[in-house]
Amino acid sequence: MKTFVKIFGKKKKEDNLFIEVTTWDGMDKVIVITPKNPTNKQKQDTIDFILHELDDHDGYNDYLNKISGI
């Protein structure tokens, strides 16, 4: 299994969220690094990547929970 990284934004490590998802076929792991307080564009880009490119609905729910503070 390979691991890929997708980064949104350019903030310091402690200002980011790390979301672990898988590729659409479930064969490889993807770590999505995105700001804890994203701009609207960063949030939408992250959602589009997780849902449309990776088709990972569990990862999407995890992302929404993390940015809402749950």
Rounded-to-integer distance, Cα 68 and Cα 63, Å? 9
How many residues belong to the chain? 70
The per-residue pLDDT for range 29-61, each reduced to its tens digit, is 999 999 999 999 999 999 999 999 999 999 999
Q: What percent of the chain is predicted at pLDDT more than 90?
A: 79
**What pTM was estimated for this model as a whole?**
0.86
The pair of three-digit structure tokens given for residue 48, joined into one six-digit string: 């589009």
> Which amino acid does the sequence have at 21?
V
> What is the DSSP code (8-state) at residue 31?
E
